[in-house]
């Protein structure tokens, strides 16, 4: 596989999903890949194709959410010349392009009900009919579909065809989010960091400061592996001294003191009989504090680690940013036993 398409990880949850994909690959049956954004659904689809008997045939990808509803059926099934305005010549659809190979349908849940009905016939009978034609065309296509939606729930709500779901769910591979992949965050961060350092021409890989490794483990990673890669590569390319461990990371690239701020909206007046506004409730984490001094010290240490990393361990700049004297900062560093 290409360098950008490697599976990196060692957690049991991740390896189980990869093993299930490997086991399902030789089958000719459809496979559903479920997972949050950035978990690697495209990589699983490629693995299913490359390890199948169709590996030397086309792997055709279609993002169902990237096209307007009026064009999805034409993209999937093709059209004849004059079938609709702008159709000046006949065109093969993705099913015909993927004949003898694999068709990967990403964002499956966004398909319209009409497209779902035609997809059902293609899956069940192995036939597609171009728009504007009455002649069905036989195709031999293995379907792999992916989504981040709860398809059984959508089916119960009438927003996804139950019979299509039955046809596509011979095997369902659910990818674990990064936050539950024990041990994989450090492995992935090291891999992406080394790769970015090599791209920048660094002669050696300095690694990460200890406090940064803790931040990586504590971040919830809503964008999963894709977010981790962006965060790591951004941190590496912004770091000036490859001889020192990387000590600062920005998780949100839009975080800036100068970012646009929405105009405040005037709160609506409560109507007659409306309940009074709820009293302020402290964060639930406060209820778990049993040692106030230890909690305060931990918070102070986290602030210091972040500020020192942000200012490349320039202690005078860090002191100025935190409103401390140089001696006060030195005292805090010694107190918390911080090292670069």
20-67 pLDDT tens trace? 999 999 999 999 999 999 999 999 999 999 999 999 999 999 999 988
pLDDT-wise least confident of 12-16, 157-161, 331-335: 331-335
**Domain identity same for 196 and 167:** no
Q: Is 76 exposed, middle or buried (0-12, 13-18, 19+ CB in 10 A)?
A: buried
Q: What's the mean pLDDT when you consider all of the chain?
A: 87
Confidence of residue 78 (pLDDT cuts 50, 70, 90): confident
Q: Does the residue 60 lie in any domain?
A: yes
- Contact of 65 with 204, CB cutoff 8 Å: no
Its pTM stands at: 0.75
Q: How many domains does the chain have?
A: 2
**Domain identity same for 228 and 295:** yes
Last residue within a domain, chosen from 176, 197, 216: 176
Containing structural domain, residue 167: 3-176
- Contact of 142 with 105, CB cutoff 8 Å: no
CA atoms within 13 A on the CB side of 99: 11
Last residue within a domain, chosen from 176, 198, 216: 176
In tens, the pLDDT along 120-131 reads 999 999 999 888
**Domain identity same for 46 and 128:** yes
Which residue carries 């093969």 as its tokens? 92
Tell me the C-alpha distance between 310 and 317, whole Å: 10
Domain of 186: which CATH number? 1.10.8.60
Last residue within a domain, chosen from 159, 176, 193: 176
**Which of 224, 229, 156, 233 is CA-nearest to residue 199?**
233
- Contact of 117 with 163, CB cutoff 8 Å: no
Packing angle, helices 184-199 and 210-218, rounded to 10:
120
Q: Does the residue 276 lie in any domain?
A: no
**Domain identity same for 90 and 31:** yes
Judge whether residue 213 has pLDDT over 90: yes
Burial 10-33 (b: 16+ CB within 10 A, else e): ebeebeebbebbeebbeeeebbbb
Higher pLDDT, 92 or 199: 199
CA atoms within 13 A on the CB side of 27: 13
**Domain identity same for 109 and 19:** yes
Q: Does the residue 247 lie in any domain?
A: yes
At residue 317, the pLDDT reads: 79
Judge whether residue 80 has pLDDT over 90: no
**Domain identity same for 125 and 23:** yes
- Contact of 59 with 49, CB cutoff 8 Å: yes
At residue 256, the pLDDT reads: 80
**Domain identity same for 154 and 190:** no
Q: Does the residue 14 lie in any domain?
A: yes
**Domain identity same for 152 and 69:** yes
Q: Does the residue 267 lie in any domain?
A: no
Judge whether residue 198 has pLDDT over 60: yes
Q: Does the residue 23 lie in any domain?
A: yes
**Domain identity same for 112 and 220:** no
**Domain identity same for 172 and 186:** no
Q: Does the residue 277 lie in any domain?
A: no
**Domain identity same for 95 and 189:** no
Q: Is 49 exposed, middle or buried (0-12, 13-18, 19+ CB in 10 A)?
A: buried
In tens, the pLDDT along 141-195 reads 999 999 999 999 999 999 999 999 999 999 999 999 999 999 999 999 999 999 9
**Domain identity same for 111 and 230:** no
In tens, the pLDDT along 259-308 reads 787 776 665 555 555 555 544 444 446 667 777 777 788 888 888 888 87
Q: Does the residue 15 lie in any domain?
A: yes
Domain of 73: which CATH number? 3.40.50.300
């Amino acid at each position: 596989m290409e360098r950008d398409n490697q599976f990196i990880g060692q957690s049991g949850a991740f390896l189980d999903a990869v093993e299930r994909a490997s086991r399902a690959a030789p089958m000719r049956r459809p496979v559903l890949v479920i997972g949050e954004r950035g978990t690697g659904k495209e990589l699983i689809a490629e693995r299913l194709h490359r390890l199948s008997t169709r590996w030397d045939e086309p792997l055709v990808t279609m993002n169902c959410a990237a096209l307007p509803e009026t064009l999805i059926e034409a993209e999937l099934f093709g059209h004849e010349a004059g079938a609709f305005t702008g159709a000046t010549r006949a065109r093969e659809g993705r099913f015909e392009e993927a004949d003898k190979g694999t068709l990967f349908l990403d964002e499956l849940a966004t398909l319209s009900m009409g497209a779902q009905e035609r997809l059902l016939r293609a899956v069940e009978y192995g036939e597609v009919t171009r728009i504007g034609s009455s002649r069905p065309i036989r195709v031999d296509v293995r379907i792999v579909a992916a989504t981040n939606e709860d398809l059984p729930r959508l089916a119960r709500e009438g927003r996804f065809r139950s019979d299509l779901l039955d046809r596509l769910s011979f095997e369902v591979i659910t990818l674990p989010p990064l936050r539950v992949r024990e041990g994989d965050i450090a492995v992935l961060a090291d891999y992406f960091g080394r790769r970015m350092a090599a791209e920048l021409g660094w002669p050696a890989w300095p690694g990460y400061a200890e406090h940064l490794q803790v931040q990586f483990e504590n971040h919830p990673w809503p964008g999963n592996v894709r977010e981790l890669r962006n965060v790591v590569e951004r941190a590496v390319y912004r770091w000036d001294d490859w001889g020192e461990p990387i000590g600062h990371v920005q998780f949100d690239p839009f975080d800036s003191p100068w970012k646009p701020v929405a105009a405040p909206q005037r709160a609506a007046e409560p109507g007659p009989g409306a309940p009074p506004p709820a009293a302020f409730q402290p964060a639930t984490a406060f209820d778990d504090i049993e040692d106030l001094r230890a909690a305060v010290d931990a918070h102070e240490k986290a602030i210091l680690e972040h500020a020192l990393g942000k200012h490349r361990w320039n202690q005078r700049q860090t002191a100025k940013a935190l409103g401390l004297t140089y001696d006060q900062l030195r005292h805090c560093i010694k107190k918390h036993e911080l090292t670069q």
